[in-house]
Amino acid sequence: MTSDLLSRRAAALGGHVPTFYRQPLEIVRGAGVHVWDAQRRQYLDCYNNVPHVGHCHPRVVEAIAQQAATLNTHTRYLHPMVVEYVERLCAKFDHGLTQAIMVCTGSEANDVALRMAQAVTGARGVIATDATYHGNTSAVSALSTRRPPIGGYPPHVRLVPAPEAGMTDAEFAANVADAIAELEAAGEGFSGLMLCPFFANEAFPTVAPGFLCATEQVVRDAGGLIMADEVQPGFGRLGSHWWGHDWIGLVPDIVTLGKPMANGHPVAAVVTRPDIMEAFRSAFGYFNTFGGNPVSSAAALATLDVIEEEALVQNAATVGPHVTEMLRGLDHPFLHEVRGAGLFFGMEFRKDGAPATDFVAELVEQVVARGVLLNKIGRHGEVLKMRPPMPFSHQNAEHLVQVLDDALKATPLDA
């Protein structure tokens, strides 16, 4: 069955369409923190952040079903739901971030953010880290190192070394300052710095709150804007704060949101200050047909309701440290570091002082074979990455750690 589906898939979608794991999984059902494959095998989902409040949460499903049966249009007609949602969303932000544009994907959100910074500064130059990913549009993917853009990197993009163990905040800020100087010297000017405040795609290196303060000052001194990509850390995943930028102590001018925002419904947003919104709206006649439609707004509202009513941020704040504490208790010769915040955590493995790439690749397969979903990240794939749905419980955490313990013992050291 699965091999038939794989060949039909390749015929219909083309080659090189990524799947997870050596033996791709056919997942057919989800509920809470669990999913089931076509053979009815259950998996504990420790990886998917899109079903933020749990797979197929009945409250979100009901909101989608009810609004889809009532009306689905676009924001050129007035509708109270998009207004109510943006009001409630913006109430979760400080720093004067009181307005939002609703879009459909994190990629669209970051694409808008880049243009907001251009509209404010009149410049195009933009800086990101050299191990990041902010999305798949032409403009945004130019910030990605995964595959260089066709025709090479555009001249207005500069990538600075991502934070890693041992890098000081002053070093990171100095690299940003150098990149700004390069952009200015090249005549590109400087519009801003885009980063994930948790450095999620950079394998979330351990950095102390305050790490970005010096960088923020460098960016402000140069007249640039701070764009915080909250697609991964946002909506309370880090437990102690609703947003990654508040967790690390960074004041953003623009915040982008995506994946977890409506529990899987294609909803994303750009949140900013009125002065920036005005500059963008004046410079650019932006309209997004599906963005903020009544069904998307209903799904996002229900997701917000569930986060609050089920106290999921508090859950991340209590379960997260419990998990990392238990993970630190695991004994393995290659275990280099357990790190994370809230329900976003991982384990870095090194072997003879080098990234244990092959070991981690095999470990992932061993864990999945035991019915737990997770994955790896890092420049060399040396970090186990875990980012479960937010209703992840202490019991789920204990299940995960038990499986990890078994998998660690079963994975050959010479893998």
**229 is an interface residue for a copy of itself by CB under 8 A:** no
**284 is an interface residue for a copy of itself by CB under 8 A:** yes
**35 is an interface residue for a copy of itself by CB under 8 A:** yes
Tokens of 299: 């799904």
Residue choice 129, 215, 232, 296 for contact with a copy of itself (CB under 8 A):
296
**202 is an interface residue for a copy of itself by CB under 8 A:** no
Characterize 344-375 residue by residue with b for buried, 16 or more Cβ atoms within 10 angstroms of its Cβ, and e for exposed.
bbbbbbbbeeebbbbbbebbbebbbebebbbb
Residue choice 106, 233, 239, 381 for contact with a copy of itself (CB under 8 A):
106
CB of 70 to a copy of itself, least distance (A): 6
CB of 142 to a copy of itself, least distance (A): 9
User: Which residues between 113 and 172 bind a copy of itself (CB under 8 A)?
Assistant: 114-115, 118-119, 122, 124, 136-139, 141, 146-147, 150-151
Tokens 């109430």 label which residue?
91
Residue choice 22, 39, 68, 187 for contact with a copy of itself (CB under 8 A):
68
Distances (CA, A) of 71 to 67, 295, 300: 6, 8, 16
Instruction: Count the site residues for a copy of itself by CB under 8 A.
Output: 100
Q: Which of 363, 361, 366, 321 is nearest to 340 (CA)?
A: 321
Q: CB under 8 A: which stretch of 163-171, 287-295, 318-326, 342-350 binds a copy of itself?
A: 287-295
**19 is an interface residue for a copy of itself by CB under 8 A:** yes
Instruction: CB nearer to a copy of itself: give 9 or 332.
Output: 9
Instruction: Report d(CA 266, CA 156) in Å as an integer.
Output: 30
**233 is an interface residue for a copy of itself by CB under 8 A:** no
What secondary structure does DSSP assign to 363-411, as a single string?
HHHHHHHTTEE-EEESTTS-EEEE---TT--HHHHHHHHHHHHHHHHHS
**289 is an interface residue for a copy of itself by CB under 8 A:** yes
